[in-house]
Amino acid sequence: MSGGGRSDRLAARLHRRPEGVYLDVRGLDCPDPLVEILGLIDRGEAGDALIVDLDQEPFFLYPELEARGWGHERLLLQDDGGHDACRLRLEKRGP
């Protein structure tokens, strides 16, 4: 698959709003959610705040965020009719 296909898929999942960038990675197979999130951060495309919707809590993401100077806050974690749902607010820490 060409890189353009991946970019198109990401663009469909990415929304910029005044309160930050929203990314929906639900439905992606592991490790794609982490790859997409960390890719946005590493490329500087996440700004200072990123809100992410995931299928489950991403425990392996937290040390990677810490290493990059980012923190996280759980906004939502629930079982919705047999399906886990997780929304996180990721924020770049000050210098």
- Pair of tokens at residue 43: 């490329």
- How many helices (H) and strands (E) in the chain? 3, 5
Residue-wise pLDDT tens digits, 81-93 = 666 689 999 999 9
**CA–CA separation, 63 vs 74, rounded Å?**
15
Instruction: pLDDT band for 76, please (50, 70, 90 cuts).
Output: confident
**Is 0.85 surpassed by the pTM of this model?**
no
Residue-wise pLDDT tens digits, 31-61 = 999 999 999 999 999 999 999 999 989 999 9
**CA–CA separation, 88 vs 41, rounded Å?**
14
- Ordered domains of the chain (ranges, CATH): 3-92 (3.30.110.40)
